[in-house]
């Protein structure tokens, strides 16, 4: 049996939903799943082949339901490569969502701000990325070699991003656009690394999202990426970085994020 077939069968014991839009929730953003109407919640631990998350503050759940007339699924408990997952395993949820019918994927994360105007609380649409880890979820995959190389050149859907930014503006929520740089973690960056990343053209830095975006594109999904800047990246602010700050700022912008996500998903 294909690695995903058993997982799909397990999900199908709970729901026949074929969600159009999937949303992967980043650090501190798990509560966004409460927006879903008529939720069907599945613990990922009960899904064969689904890797287990180990990070504090993360749960492992898929929440199916509707927002307006749109069928959606939220993934709570992102899998990070720094937890010890192979990069190919970390994108298992994306392959599963694709099998379940998802054609549009929203990737959210918490990130450190590098761009001088990005203070904590800034919302940034990801328009491009830098893969500092050089790890790629397509390594060893069965996709046609001819097209393998295309994924990554334009992961983030420009039209969807522009529309999403307009929606934010119409709600009175200011957003910015920028380039996200993926580091492996789990340690935060050094000040010297952040100076280097700035020279490379990065506006924000974080430990997720890029492998999921590459995987999603390889499956033909449209991708929207949204970073919540939770802190000044190392050396750019006065305070030392800590995980609690990341979670707290995430909670602080939650009301805006909720309104934004609701509007985006309603269509």
Q: How far is the CB of 195 from ligand HPA (least distance, A)?
A: 14
Give yes or no for residue 178 binding ligand HPA (CB under 6 A): no
Cβ distance to ligand HPA smaller for residue 47 or 246: 246
Whether residue 134 lies in the annotated active site: no
Q: According to CB under 6 A, which one of 188, 203, 218, 221 is a site residue for ligand HPA? A: 188
Give yes or no for residue 246 binding ligand HPA (CB under 6 A): yes
Whether residue 80 lies in the annotated active site: yes
Give the phi and the psi of residue 102 in degrees, each rounded to 5.
-70, 130
Cβ distance to ligand HPA smaller for residue 156 or 188: 188
Whether residue 142 lies in the annotated active site: no
Q: How far is the CB of 175 from ligand HPA (least distance, A)?
A: 17
Give yes or no for residue 207 binding ligand HPA (CB under 6 A): yes
Give the phi and the psi of residue 62 in degrees, each rounded to 5.
-105, 130
Give yes or no for residue 249 binding ligand HPA (CB under 6 A): no
Q: Is residue 8 within 8 Å of 233, Cβ to Cβ?
A: no
Q: According to CB under 6 A, which one of 133, 241, 258, 262 is a site residue for ligand HPA? A: 241
Q: What is the 3-state secondary structure (H, E, C) of the chain?
A: CCHHHHHHHHHHCCCCCCCCEEEECCCCCHHHHHHCEEEEEEEHHHCCCCCCCCCCCCCCEEEEEEECCEEEEEEECCCCHHHCCCHHHHCHHHHHHHHCCCCEEEEEEEEEECCCCCCCCCEEEEEEEEECCCCCCCCCCCCCHHHHCCCCCCCCCHHHHHHHHHHHHHCCCCCEEEEEEECCCCCCCCHHHHHHHHHHCCCEEECCCHHHHHHHHHCCCEEEEEEEEEEECCCCCCCCCCHHHHHHHHHHCHHHHHHHHHHHHHC
Q: How far is the CB of 183 from ligand HPA (least distance, A)?
A: 6
Whether residue 208 lies in the annotated active site: yes
Cβ distance to ligand HPA smaller for residue 226 or 233: 233
Whether residue 207 lies in the annotated active site: yes
Cβ distance to ligand HPA smaller for residue 64 or 182: 182
Give yes or no for residue 110 binding ligand HPA (CB under 6 A): yes
Give yes or no for residue 126 binding ligand HPA (CB under 6 A): no
Cβ distance to ligand HPA smaller for residue 157 or 189: 189
Bridge partners (DSSP) listed for residue 41: 63
- The C-alpha atoms of residue 12 and residue 28 are separated, in whole angstroms, by 29
Q: How far is the CB of 124 from ligand HPA (least distance, A)?
A: 12
Q: How far is the CB of 212 from ligand HPA (least distance, A)?
A: 15
Binding site for ligand HPA (CB under 6 A): 110-112, 188-189, 205-207, 230-231, 233, 241, 246
Residues with catalytic roles: 27, 58, 80, 82-83, 110, 207-208, 231, 243
């Amino acid at each position: 049996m294909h690695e995903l077939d058993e997982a799909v069968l397990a999900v199908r014991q709970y729901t026949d939903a074929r969600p159009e839009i999937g949303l992967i929730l980043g650090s501190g953003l798990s509560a966004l799943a409460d927006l879903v109407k008529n939720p069907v919640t599945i613990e990922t631990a009960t899904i064969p082949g689904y890797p287990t998350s180990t990070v504090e503050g993360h749960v492992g759940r898929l929440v199916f339901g509707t927002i307006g007339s749109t069928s959606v699924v939220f993934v709570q408990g992102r899998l990070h490569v720094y937890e010890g997952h192979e990069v190919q395993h970390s994108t298992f949820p994306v392959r599963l969502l694709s099998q379940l019918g998802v054609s549009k994927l929203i990737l959210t994360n918490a990130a450190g701000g590098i761009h001088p105007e990005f203070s904590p609380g800034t919302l940034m649409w990801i328009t491009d990325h830098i893969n500092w880890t050089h790890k790629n979820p397509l390594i060893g995959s069965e996709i046609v070699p001819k097209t393998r190389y295309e994924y990554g050149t334009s992961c983030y859907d420009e039209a969807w991003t522009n529309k999403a930014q307009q929606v934010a503006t119409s709600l009175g929520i200011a957003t910015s656009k920028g380039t996200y740089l993926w580091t492996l973690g789990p340690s935060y960056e050094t000040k010297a690394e952040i100076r280097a990343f700035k020279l490379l053209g990065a506006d924000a830095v974080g430990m997720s999202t890029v492998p999921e975006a590459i995987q999603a594109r390889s499956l033909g999904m449209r991708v929207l990426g949204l970073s919540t800047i939770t802190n000044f990246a190392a050396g750019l602010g006065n305070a030392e970085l800590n995980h609690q700050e990341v979670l707290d700022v995430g909670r602080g912008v939650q009301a805006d994020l909720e309104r934004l996500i609701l509007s985006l998903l309603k269509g």
